[in-house]
Amino acid sequence: MSAPEELKQTVLPQSVLAPLTRAAIFMVVCVKPDRESYSTVRSFCGGLAGLIRAVEFRDIEAGLTCVVGFGSDAWDKLFGNPRPAELHRFREIRSNGRHAVSTPGDILFHVRARRMDLCFELVMQIMQSIGEAVSTVDEVHGFRYFEDRDVMGFVDGTENPRGDAALEAALVGGEDASFAGGSYVIVQKYLHDMKAWNTLSTEGQERIIGRRKLSDVELEDAEKPTSAHSALTVIEEDGKEIKILRDNMPFGRPGYGEFGTYFIGYSRTPRITEKMLENMFVGRPPGNYDRLLDFSRAVTGNLFFAPSATFLETVGQEAPTVAAIAAPPPEPDLSSSPSVRDTSLGIGSLKGVRDE
């Protein structure tokens, strides 16, 4: 499978398309507001691949990977211009008590492997490298639950694209050639009210999710409410479904009554995931919201850009210009949400991109 011309056969993505694993650690940090800290992080970027290889070598078959993404504010201070065309702060959503919160976060580390000890070791090594330059704002240790289910008992990730479709969905192409091979990443940490959820009948739960709990088969249209989670997260354009690539993980602390799902969605443009969230929290049409939110609460929300592995390896220690730090591009107008048709990208093909 050869790389497309638009990647000029020199750009390798990060391991966005890595297969599902049994364990993961999601860590979000903020860079301390001084030039030395930003310099430390820039220097770290170039050595990350080597650090991953060093830990991975302990068990090659365990499939250790790490994807690193950067928030809008951090991008300007770390790398300056140019910047990814659609990178901006996470768009907060409020609607009748439902709230998709926006929380602090400069850098995301998404570490995956078949063994949690490898994930743990890599995160420990990362923090030994940059711990003095950052402060951790969130760390979640995820695990695969029975039959790839979430803690609510339903299979998660059934509709993930595969093969060439995953490449098309997740990786930037010629529409932003300077950042081809990169990916936009939206993350949210959801906490579930399991006591209330478990008072529902299985049939009631199935109508909220839109799938059979045991078989994972999607409900027929005549049976599935328009407010079902699986209905509201389908985005179509010109009769074609536009997908994102998810790698959600359950997490929790039963002793503290904490049960949750860490949502992570990779996409070629953040507008697709943002439209899904708008449908969930506001409704399609407004008011026809995702009833899963009656039992689940978002407690974090961030948008990052994960540049290509090639970009990271060529990052130097030199700071961006003062102008780039002092005057970042204006944030987009959030007063109105994009329509489904606005997700038209005209981006051509990414088939054949090599996944490292």
Q: What is the pLDDT of residues 143-164, one digit of tens each?
A: 999 999 999 999 998 889 999 9
Q: What is the DSSP letter of 171?
A: S
The enclosing H or E element of 80 equals none
Write out the two tokens for 93: 């959503």
Backbone angles phi, psi at 165, to 5 degrees: -65, -35
Whole-angstrom distance, CA of residue 176 vs CA of residue 181 = 10
Whole-angstrom distance, CA of residue 78 vs CA of residue 321 = 10
- Active site residues per annotation: 156
CA-based Rg of the chain, rounded to a whole angstrom?
A: 20
CB contact at 8 A, 171 and 183: yes
Give percent helix, percent strand, percent coil of the chain, each to the nearest 5: 35, 25, 45
Residue 137 CB-density burial (10 A; 0-12 exposed, 13-18 middle, 19+ buried): middle
Q: What is the pLDDT of residue 355?
A: 36
Half-sphere exposure of 140 (CA within 13 A, CB side): 26
Residue whose entry in the numeric block shows the structure tokens 């985005």? 235
Whole-angstrom distance, CA of residue 259 vs CA of residue 337 = 31
CA 110 to chain centre: 9
Q: What is the pLDDT of residue 317?
A: 59
CB contact at 8 A, 241 and 189: no
Among 223, 205, 226, 222, smallest CA distance to 214 is for 205
18-34: average pLDDT: 96
pLDDT band at 107 (very low <50, low <70, confident <90, very high): very high
Q: What is the pLDDT of residue 184?
A: 98
Write the pLDDT tens digit of every residue in 313-322: 998 656 675 4
Write the pLDDT tens digit of every residue in 212-235: 999 999 999 999 999 999 999 999
Question: Is 80 exceeded by the pLDDT of residue 309?
Answer: yes
pLDDT band at 349 (very low <50, low <70, confident <90, very high): very low
Among 94, 101, 93, 96, smallest CA distance to 287 is for 96
Tell me the pTM.
0.88
Q: What is the DSSP letter of 286?
A: T
Strands 23-31 and 245-246: unpaired
Among 99, 103, 101, 123, smallest CA distance to 112 is for 123
